[in-house]
Amino acid sequence: MSQPRTVRYGEDASQFAELWLPSGTPKGVVVVIHGGFWRARYDLSLGRPLAENLVEHGWAAWNIEYRRVGNGGGGLDTMDDVAAAIDALAEEDLDLTRVLAVGHSAGGHLATWAASRGRFERWPAKVELTGVVSQAGVLDLQAAYDERLGDGAVEEFLGRPPGPDDGRIDPIRLVPTGVPVHCVHSLGDDTVPITQSRRYVAAATVAGAQVELTEVDGDHFVVIDAATDVWRRTLGILEGM
């Protein structure tokens, strides 16, 4: 397996992605979106173990970085970057028939949102996602704010408390996405409680979405540990999308 190639999609230091390729023809592309409550001290190194494992299983992996709170990001700037990073795949020599996104924690928020971004004039999608796996995702911004997840991470991200104008960036208010969404969440997660995924799945189901929830044992990080049965189950979910 070759080392990843760094691809820039903008001029900011955080506007880049790592393209990981398998030795043969990829079975599809997986966009890996790291978490960290949208804060600058967490970066795409969190996604590298997953990207490497995806390549071993025949996928192309697109591990993206984006501006975060503390380095010029947050709010719409972060959403702009995620949209641009996904669209930058159009410049690569890849079959984009099957483009899935896997996002953890705040990355789950971004991945699930990205499936709906094309309905807004600000984010016309050149590359459409065909499915999403949210790993312990922050999928209800108002509830996350009310519960002060990440010691106020939602207010830091938005620059204010969430309000009516945030419907275009709040996944639970964007159901149905139009593509399959599968949430994987640990029962013992005390960083992003499983109620985030349960509420999202309930709302999406009512809206007629193709959505599922897999509840697993463990903490907030077991879902991104490539050595666990949880990740092997996630690989199986991706295969079925």
Q: Please, which pLDDT band fits residue 87 given cuts at 50, 70 and 90?
A: very high
7-62: pLDDT as tens digits:
999 999 999 999 999 999 999 999 999 999 999 999 999 999 999 999 999 999 99
Judge contact between 173 and 184, C-beta under 8 A. no
Give the angle subtended at the CA of 143 by the CAs of 137 and 147, to the nearest 5°.
100
What pLDDT does 1 receive? Answer: 54
Judge contact between 85 and 9, C-beta under 8 A. yes
Average pLDDT score over residue span 56-83? 97
- Which CATH superfamily is 5-239 part of? Alpha/Beta hydrolase fold, catalytic domain (3.40.50.1820)
Among 145, 31, 165, smallest CA distance to 88 is for: 31
Give the CA distances from residue 151 to residues 105, 124, 128, 218, in Å, rounded to whole numbers and listed in that order.
Answer: 14, 33, 33, 22
The mean pLDDT value of the chain amounts to: 97
User: What are the domain boundaries of the chain?
Assistant: 5-239
Q: Is the pTM of this model over 0.95?
A: yes
